Amino acid sequence: MRVSFIIPLYNCLPLSQAMLTSLQATLPADLNHEIILIDDGSTDSTREWLATLNHPALRVLLNDRNLGYAATNNRAAASANGELLVLLNNDLVLTPGWLEPMLALHAALPKPCAIGNVQLNIANDAIDHAGITITVKGKPEHDVTLPRSSDFKTSPAVTGACLLIARDLWQQLGGFDEQFHNGAEDIDLCFRARRAGYTNAVALHSVIRHHVSASPGRKENDEHNSYLFTLRWEKELIELGARAWCKHHVRHTPYRELLSLPAILLFLSGLRHTPPAAALHGVKRNIEHSLGIWSKRFG
């Protein structure tokens, strides 16, 4: 099975060079693959460096202007020849054995969508990502919890910093939505796949290191991206945030009063599958508060 690695570049040349070196050093020797480096209008020496590369597995694409993360990945994916796409940020440091667990998990799941992995913040080696969770406020954030013993865990979404997906499914979903600009594109893709019955999951034995948010301008559009994402996925965010709301409620309830919360306790234990109405109402109220602030700014 041929794998296409897609790496968007925007400045940060030393990180890009180190990332490519780590990628080439950690790929299985017999892997049928291509590496697509696509530059999104870098203003440092990235393009000069790209012009020096000469390897049969490497292809270079150049954007005429800065298009942003979503459009750049979409362009590269449209030119890919692999049956599997692996999206990679240029600020990763890949470690031996990182790819094989992701490939194995994709092959094992009945209807896989996005396969992610565990990412350590290179500044301190703390876990930065082991999936995406939805907070009590109905907002996506990186999950940093690991099961005690498992090869993988399912997740509402995974980060596009390191994401494996079948090219056919990517095309079926339409790739990244270019309404988002450098944020939330990956979670939106995962939510669309989830709505279609596919599973997003984290390969827990795949561990890499990440210079978190090193790309210039990475956070500039976070609030607007969050506004668009929340408008589109409010219902799902309410349902997914209910677990966090229940955990928060239990933590702030005196121990002697916990037995008065049977619906919440049953839901958290897995004996009840539908979230309590109070939890849904609580998350909805938090989301409406955020939307009210965003609508004044962007509406």
More confident position, 255 or 294: 294
All residues at 6 or more sequence positions from 113 whose CB lies less than 8 Å from its CB, including other chains = 165, 169, 190, 193, 194, 198, 199, 200
Residue 120 has pLDDT above 80, yes or no: yes
For residue 1, what pLDDT is reported?
Answer: 78
Handedness of CA 62, 66, 68, 74 (dihedral sign): negative
pLDDT for 149:
81
Express each pLDDT in 241-276 by its tens digit.
999 999 999 998 887 777 678 999 999 999 999 999
pLDDT for res 100: 98
Name the pLDDT band for 218 (thresholds 50, 70, 90). Answer: low
**The pLDDT value given to residue 253:** 85
Higher pLDDT, 219 or 70: 70
**Predicted pLDDT at 212:** 82
In CATH, which superfamily holds the domain spanning 3-210?
A: Spore Coat Polysaccharide Biosynthesis Protein SpsA; Chain A (3.90.550.10)
**Pairing mode, strands 140-142 and 162-166:** unpaired
Looking at the predicted structure, is the pLDDT value of residue 2 above 90? yes
Contact between 70 and 43 (Cβ < 8 Å): no
pTM of this structure = 0.94
What is the C-alpha to C-alpha distance for residues 164 and 29, in angstroms, rounded to an integer?
Answer: 19
**161 DSSP assignment:** T
pLDDT by residue (tens digit) across 277-288?
A: 999 999 999 999
Whether the CB-CB separation of 63 and 72 falls below 8 Å is answered with yes
pLDDT, position 216: 62
Helix locations, 57-210, DSSP H: 69-78, 99-108, 167-173, 185-195
Rounded to an integer, the average pLDDT of 37-54 is 97
219 pLDDT band (50/70/90 cuts)? confident
Domain assignments of the chain as residue spans, ordered by start: 3-210, 222-298
Of the pLDDT bands very low, low, confident and very high (cuts 50, 70, 90), residue 203 is: very high
Is residue 217 very low, low, confident or very high in pLDDT (cuts 50, 70, 90)?
low
